[in-house]
């Protein structure tokens, strides 16, 4: 019998070098794809040329076509190719400006003299009834006619539509924001003053905001005397009848006792606003209560908080106060030892160890660590997914608060690229681990006929291609909906992820790692890093072509 040839140190080195070079190339392809996503010209692509022409017909009666946009302005060209005007959308600048229940998008049409020829409605996420009212109001749409582009960034006092005030004002603010007005998404712009907090802290001489999260510390001669929480700065917008209110909560220095609440302003209707203002001023039901007691109280307005009853405005104030208190509690808790993040790092570190060391191949270790991963998935909810990667590529990410997810993603992408071992899929991924445990419970395993197996094994690759193609087309599709992972953190809320999770886990009892083999695009991406670690494959060529196409898409 022939003895297998032992490889020489020189051959080992060569193989290792090949693996590193190829691993770097494959990792580079993924990082380049993310970088390309980041540089996509999203804002200029939002206007459909056919829609521009349709809506410009009346403001610019000449026969026009639309040209390539620059800085979000689409030129309108006559038959001779001369520019006779421009059209532009109020997005993305208006995206944060909410009316009753959502932002709107308008189109502004200019003549060749850069004066407004017309403003037209494009879309709205606001309440249908209010939007319809605004759409039918001629004076509202005429208010910009004839104004120079340079004047549109001065918000002034817009014409608003009675009965749809918030929707129309939000649209008008969107136009101003598009042309440079700052703070249009801020409905309560005034800074917190000593007068606003005098009810609870009459002796205060300084207010200091910790960060920009709506939590303020109050001082008297440099002595800390309490905390103020402000709803509009914490991004809390519980609505009353017709809009949100700006509510403040005064807390004692220990942070556990409420000294009272204040009412800085409201977009809601009279007389409800005045009722709340009077009650807050003269019979503050929150004063003297413990934070825990208010958080534990029934969500509906209790007579102990508002004697004037449960109007929508009262209800909104109670909801805002409770939300502010619970967010403040979370911020305070986070100042302690970061248990969650520490446990996540232990879990990831252990996973990398059992994924690389041969001890991880023992059945008991494999199943034991799979159980740990399932518990980590259920409690921490962190998983690598296409939605997360595409989101990071498109919008970037802040390191604070997501360090464990960053470490998890780095372990998933970097370790396979340089070691050839897919530690994330093989050991760490909670969804993979759940399938491993399911498979270990049933002895009899099914095996698909080879042809069916080959056909189904292509599905993850095709899904991966489709996801990235749609991402580059800026489709806006939430990719979390086509993977099962969000169900681990949010529960059985969205139907499709929950269905994929259920079907995949049930199938895993009979078909080894069924979802991993026949469904998972994230698994396919990680397989791309590890398959044939020392040889150039057809997938590497396809990846090179796709990255070249992505670069062209970005550059052209
Ligand atoms: S293939 Fe997908 S589900 Fe399976 S282990 Fe990998 S990432 Fe998790």
**Mean of pLDDT values over 421-436:** 96
Is there a single domain that holds both residue 282 and residue 325? yes
Q: DSSP assignment, residue 68? A: -
CA of 459 to the centre of ligand 1 (A): 14
Per-residue tokens: 177: 């924001």
Q: Which of 484, 515, 529, 531 to mutate to test the pocket of ligand 1 (most atoms within 8 A of CB)?
A: 515
pLDDT the model gives residue 44: 44
The pTM of this model reads: 0.59
CA of 386 to the centre of ligand 1 (A): 11
Is there a single domain that holds both residue 172 and residue 226? no
Per-residue pLDDT tens over the stretch 115-152: 999 999 998 877 777 788 899 999 999 999 999 998 89
Q: Has residue 45 got a pLDDT over 50?
A: no
pLDDT the model gives residue 100: 64
Per-residue pLDDT tens over the stretch 484-527: 998 887 678 678 889 999 999 999 999 999 999 999 999 999 99
Per-residue tokens: 547: 């990255």
Per-residue pLDDT tens over the stretch 444-454: 888 899 999 99
Q: Which of 382, 387, 431 to mutate to test the pocket of ligand 1 (most atoms within 8 A of CB)?
A: 431
Per-residue tokens: 533: 């670690």
pLDDT the model gives residue 398: 57
Percent of the chain exceeding pLDDT 90 equals 41
**Residue of minimum CA distance from atom 7 in ligand 1:** 523
Instruction: Name residues contacting ligand 1 (CB within 6 A).
Output: 425, 429, 431-432, 515-516, 520, 522-523
Residue 187 within any structural domain of the chain: no
User: Quick one: which H or E segment has residue 220?
Assistant: strand 215-220
Contacts of 276 (CB under 8 A, 6+ apart): 245, 263, 266, 306, 308, 311, 313, 314, 317
Q: Has residue 283 got a pLDDT over 70?
A: no
Per-residue tokens: 485: 């992972």
Q: Which of 523, 524, 530 to mutate to test the pocket of ligand 1 (most atoms within 8 A of CB)?
A: 523
Q: Choose the most confident range, by mean pLDDT, from 129-138, 177-186, 400-409.
A: 129-138
Residue 33 within any structural domain of the chain: no
Cα separation, 243 vs 172, whole angstroms: 17
CA of 23 to the centre of ligand 1 (A): 20
Is there a single domain that holds both residue 235 and residue 248? yes
- Host domain of residue 240: 194-334
Q: ∠ CA 124-466-95 to the nearest 5 degrees? A: 20
Q: Has residue 299 got a pLDDT over 70?
A: no
Is there a single domain that holds both residue 131 and residue 152? yes
Is there a single domain that holds both residue 429 and residue 448? yes
Is there a single domain that holds both residue 88 and residue 207? no
Alpha-helical runs (H) found in 39-142: 49-56, 128-135, 138-142
Q: Which of 303, 319, 102, 301 is nearest to 231 (CA)?
A: 319
Is there a single domain that holds both residue 298 and residue 349? no
Q: Which of 64, 62, 55 is nearest to 88 (CA)?
A: 55
Confidence of residue 311 (pLDDT cuts 50, 70, 90): low
Residue 257 within any structural domain of the chain: yes
Is there a single domain that holds both residue 200 and residue 311? yes
Contacts of 20 (CB under 8 A, 6+ apart): 418
Confidence of residue 376 (pLDDT cuts 50, 70, 90): very high
Residue 462 within any structural domain of the chain: yes
Burial degree of 391 (CB within 10 A; 0-12, 13-18, 19+): middle
Cα separation, 71 vs 332, whole angstroms: 43
Residue 186 within any structural domain of the chain: no
Task: Write down which residue in 292, 319, 334 finishes a domain.
Answer: 334
Matching residue, tokens 């003053």: 193
Is there a single domain that holds both residue 449 and residue 517? yes
Q: Which of 355, 377, 429 to mutate to test the pocket of ligand 1 (most atoms within 8 A of CB)?
A: 429
CA of 517 to the centre of ligand 1 (A): 8
Is residue 179 a contact partner of residue 153, using CB atoms and an 8 Å limit? yes
Confidence of residue 2 (pLDDT cuts 50, 70, 90): very low
Is there a single domain that holds both residue 79 and residue 172? yes
CA of 345 to the centre of ligand 1 (A): 19
Residue 183 within any structural domain of the chain: no
Q: Has residue 300 got a pLDDT over 60?
A: no
Task: Write down which residue in 334, 354, 379 finishes a domain.
Answer: 334
Task: Write down which residue in 334, 354, 373 finishes a domain.
Answer: 334
Which atom of ligand 1 is closest in space to residue 422's alpha carbon? 6
Residue 32 within any structural domain of the chain: no
Phi and psi torsions of 250, nearest 5° = -100, 125
pLDDT the model gives residue 280: 67
CB atoms within 10 A of CB 10: 8
Q: Has residue 378 got a pLDDT over 80?
A: yes
Alpha-helical runs (H) found in 90-164: 128-135, 138-142
Q: Strand, helix or coil at 217?
A: strand
Is there a single domain that holds both residue 165 and residue 268? no
Number of structural domains in the chain: 3
pLDDT the model gives residue 466: 94
Is there a single domain that holds both residue 429 and residue 316? no
Helices 495-508 and 430-440: crossing angle, nearest 10°? 40
CA of 429 to the centre of ligand 1 (A): 6
Percent of the chain exceeding pLDDT 70 equals 85
Burial degree of 438 (CB within 10 A; 0-12, 13-18, 19+): buried
Residue 74 within any structural domain of the chain: yes
């Amino acid at each position: 019998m022939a003895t297998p040839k032992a490889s020489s140190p020189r051959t080992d080195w060569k193989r290792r070098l090949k693996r590193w070079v190829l691993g770097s190339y494959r990792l580079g392809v993924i990082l380049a794809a993310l970088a390309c996503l980041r540089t996509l010209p999203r804002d200029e692509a939002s206007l459909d040329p056919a829609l521009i022409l349709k809506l410009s017909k009346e403001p610019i009666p000449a026969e026009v076509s639309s040209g390539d946009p620059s800085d979000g302005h689409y030129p309108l060209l006559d038959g001779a190719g001369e520019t006779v005007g421009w059209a532009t959308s109020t997005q993305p600048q208006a995206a944060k400006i909410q009316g009753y229940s959502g932002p709107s998008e308008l189109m502004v049409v200019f003549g060749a003299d850069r004066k407004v020829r017309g403003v037209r409605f494009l879309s709205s996420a606001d309440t249908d009834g209010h939007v319809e009212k605004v759409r039918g109001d001629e004076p509202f749409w005429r208010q910009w006619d004839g104004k120079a582009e340079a004047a549109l960034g001065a918000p002034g006092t817009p014409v608003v539509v009675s009965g749809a005030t918030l929707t129309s004002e939000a649209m008008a603010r969107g136009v101003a924001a598009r042309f440079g007005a700052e703070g249009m998404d801020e409905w309560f712009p005034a800074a917190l003053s000593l007068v606003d907090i005098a009810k609870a802290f009459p002796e205060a001489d300084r207010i200091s905001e910790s960060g920009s999260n709506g939590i303020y510390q109050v001082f008297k001669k440099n002595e800390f005397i309490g905390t103020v929480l402000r709803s509009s700065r914490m991004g809390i917008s519980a609505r009353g009848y017709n809009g949100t209110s700006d509510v403040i909560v005064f807390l004692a220095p220990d942070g556990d006792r409420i000294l009272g609440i204040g009412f800085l302003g409201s977009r809601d209707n009279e007389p409800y606003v005045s009722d709340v203002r009077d009650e807050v001023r003269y019979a503050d039901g929150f004063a003297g209560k413990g934070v825990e007691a208010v958080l534990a109280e029934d969500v509906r307005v209790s007579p102990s908080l508002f004697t004037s009853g449960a109007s929508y405005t009262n209800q909104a104030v109670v909801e805002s106060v409770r939300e502010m208190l619970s967010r403040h509690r979370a911020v305070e808790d986070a100042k302690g030892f970061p248990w969650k993040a520490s446990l996540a790092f232990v879990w990831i570190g252990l996973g990398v160890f059992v994924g690389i060391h041969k001890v991880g191949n023992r059945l008991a270790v494999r199943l034991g660590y799979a159980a740990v991963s399932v518990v980590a998935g259920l409690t921490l909810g962190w998983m690598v997914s296409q939605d997360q990667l595409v989101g990071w590529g498109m919008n970037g990410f802040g390191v604070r608060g997501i360090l464990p997810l960053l470490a998890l993603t780095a372990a998933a992408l970097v370790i396979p690229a340089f070691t050839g071992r897919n530690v994330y899929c093989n050991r760490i991924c909670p969804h993979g681990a759940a399938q491993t445990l399911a498979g270990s419970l049933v002895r009899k395993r099914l095996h698909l006929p080879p042809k069916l197996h080959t056909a189904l094994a292509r599905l993850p690759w095709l899904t991966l291609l489709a996801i990235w193609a749609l991402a580059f087309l800026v489709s806006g599709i939430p990719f979390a909906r086509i993977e099962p992972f969000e169900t681990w953190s949010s529960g059985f809320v969205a139907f499709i992820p929950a269905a994929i999770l259920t079907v995949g886990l049930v199938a895993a009892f009979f078909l080894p790692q069924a979802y991993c083999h026949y469904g998972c695009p994230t698994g396919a991406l990680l397989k791309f890093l590890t398959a044939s670690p020392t040889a150039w494959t057809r997938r590497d060529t396809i990846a090179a072509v796709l990255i070249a196409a992505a670069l062209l898409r970005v550059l052209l």
